[in-house]
A and B are shown apart, each in its own frame.
Chain A
Amino acid sequence: MMNSVPEPPGPPDTGPAVTAHDLTVARGPRTVLRSLDFTVPRGRITGLLGPSGCGKSTLMRAVVGTQAKVTGTLDVLGHPAGHPALRTRIGYVTQAPSVYDDLTVRQNLDYFAAILDPGRAAADRRHDNVTRAIADVDLTTHADALAGNLSGGQRGRVSLAVALLGTPELLVLDEPTVGLDPVLRRDLWTLFHHIADTRGATLLISSHVMDEAERCHRLLLMRTGEILADGTPDSLRTRTGADTVEAAFLHLVDQAADAARAKETTR
């Protein structure tokens, strides 16, 4: 049912899901993102990797349209980022779980589902969507527990379930696996791949854990507001002659530092 929908009229849905050109974000006096150029391909999982504080969350907030003081060009699913038409098409999970602690898991999802797909006529569809989203994040047995009584990892999954409602075309997930045990992390990555494969959704997932990079189709490596490298995990390893993405990242950081030093001395 969901897959047989004709493409909505408008720009053709073949280009990248996200295209950024000269993207710059200032927070107060500080420039957090410096003139970034990148694309996020459709229907794939793109990992956004880099150390804490390098601007990953700011980049994601810019894509979702909640970040102020964004300059440059940033197109998301054929619209400028933050366009009202995008609000039903993007699922966004912030780093800290953003759910109501004084509601149960199901009540949280019921409410957000009613915002995405309002009206009494949609009640059955909403109920199905909510039940599926709870099952997707493996919380069916906790559906009637208060979100505030769940563990940190479980609350994070409630937050993720909210983003899975309404089958979004683009999922922006800010460190969704942080603090989870290995089994759950593996299950979530399986879910992410399932979503990309069966629903054709685009996923942009940030992490500061480099071993998660291997699970992505493409990577954007970030450091201090700049994109160091962009490519598949294999190509990054080959380019740098490193065994792991982590080693590739460190190699690129050293290279960038050397280049900066060389620039200083020639000046």
Chain B
Amino acid sequence: MTTAPAPTRGLNASRTTATAARVLRQLRHDPRTIALLLLIPCLMLVLLRYVFDGSPRTFDSIGASLLGIFPLITMFLVTSIATLRERTSGTLERLLAMPLGKGDLIAGYALAFGTLAIIQSALATGLAVWFLDLDVIGSPWLLLLVALLDALLGTALGLFVSAFAASEFQAVQFMPAVIFPQLLLCGLFAPRDTMHPALEALSDALPMSYAVDGMNEVLTHTDLTATFVRDVLIVGGCALLVLVLGAATLRRRTA
């Protein structure tokens, strides 16, 4: 066995996929979590459909927004707890004492939860479009694309905040702290241009606003609009930026 030089810069595809496979294997031993992850968004959509039984147009707009918000919230929660456990169980320290790049670990998590998000979003989108009569003028594939980017953003935010949480209690509290303000300002409750100018400016700086905006673009346009492309790039860019920030919170040497 030769002692290969340990590459720590850049990504190693085998180590990244091994990490993603490990994360998914851990989840497979926890079928209840998988069921909750996949079924709750669907149940909420069904609920919403009949809450707005009399006004299908409202269901269209809120339903489409929620298709983007669900993956963000669930992946945020799952990732922040999963990485917190990795930090507290000592496995993170062990991994970082091994030839694993920080990027490999982050990318592995993103890949695993991204895969899960695709399944979750496909189920929710399929249900909404085919069974709940969500009226989408554009392609449902584009809805799925935005949902996937939202999931990546949620994963990235979860990884990042887990560095600042010392316990599961704190990690869960980061959900209202990080997600709720975005939820209130993203245009779901009131159109963003009707908000107080200061809040509208703030909402311009929050990634979830673009996620919801992107969903609504698909809802009302047959073709790819420039706004949609901008939204997708912003959400994707934010996810990437926060993932890099998350990698910076992983330290090989700790006190």
Using a CB–CB distance below 8 Å, which chain A residues touch chain B?
1-2, 5, 8, 27-28, 64-70, 82, 84-85, 87-90, 92, 94, 96-103, 107, 111-112, 114-120, 125, 146, 162, 166-167
Contact = CB atoms under 8 A, between A and B. Distances in A.
B14 A102 contact: no
Contact of B98 (A1, A85, A97, A116): A116
Given A8-B3, A64-B97, A103 B29 contact: yes
B57 interface: no
Contacts of B22: 100, 103, 107, 111
28 contacts: A2-B1, A8-B3, A64-B97, A66-B93, A66-B252, A66-B254, A70-B253, A82-B253, A84-B5, A87-B98, A88-B4, A88-B6, A92-B94, A94-B94, A97-B90, A99-B91, A100-B89, A102-B30, A103-B22, A107-B22, A111-B19, A111-B21, A112-B98, A114-B14, A115-B15, A116-B99, A119-B14, A125-B1
B242 to A, nearest CB: 24
Q: Specify which of A67, A70, A87, A166 lies most central, judged by the most chain B CB atoms within 10 Å of its CB.
A: A87
A1 B97 CA distance: 26
A25 to B, nearest CB: 9
A102 B29 contact: yes
A158 to B, nearest CB: 12
Contacts, number: 106
A89 B3 contact: yes
A68 B94 contact: no
Given A82-B253, A115-B15, A94 B98 contact: no
Contacts of B14: 114, 118-120
Contact of A98 (B1, B91, B99, B252): B91
A120 B30 CA distance: 28
Interface of B: 1-6, 8, 12, 14-15, 18-19, 21-22, 25-26, 29-30, 89-91, 93-100, 251-255
A28 B8 CA distance: 29
Contacts of B97: 64-66, 87, 90, 92
A96 B90 contact: yes
Contact of B25 (A5, A70, A103): A103
Nearest to A112: B98
B22 to A, nearest CB: 4
A84 B255 contact: no
Q: Specify which of B4, B5, B21, B253 lies most central, judged by the most chain A CB atoms within 10 Å of its CB.
A: B253
A222 B21 CA distance: 42
B99 A87 contact: yes
Contact of A167 (B1, B90, B95, B96): B1
Contacts of A98: 89-91, 93-94
A65 B29 contact: no
B255 A68 contact: yes
B252 A118 contact: no
Contacts of A101: 89
Q: Specify which of A65, A92, A98, A120 lies most central, judged by the most chain B CB atoms within 10 Å of its CB.
A: A98
Contact of A102 (B26, B99, B255): B26
Q: Specify which of B1, B4, B90, B100 lies most central, judged by the most chain A CB atoms within 10 Å of its CB.
A: B1
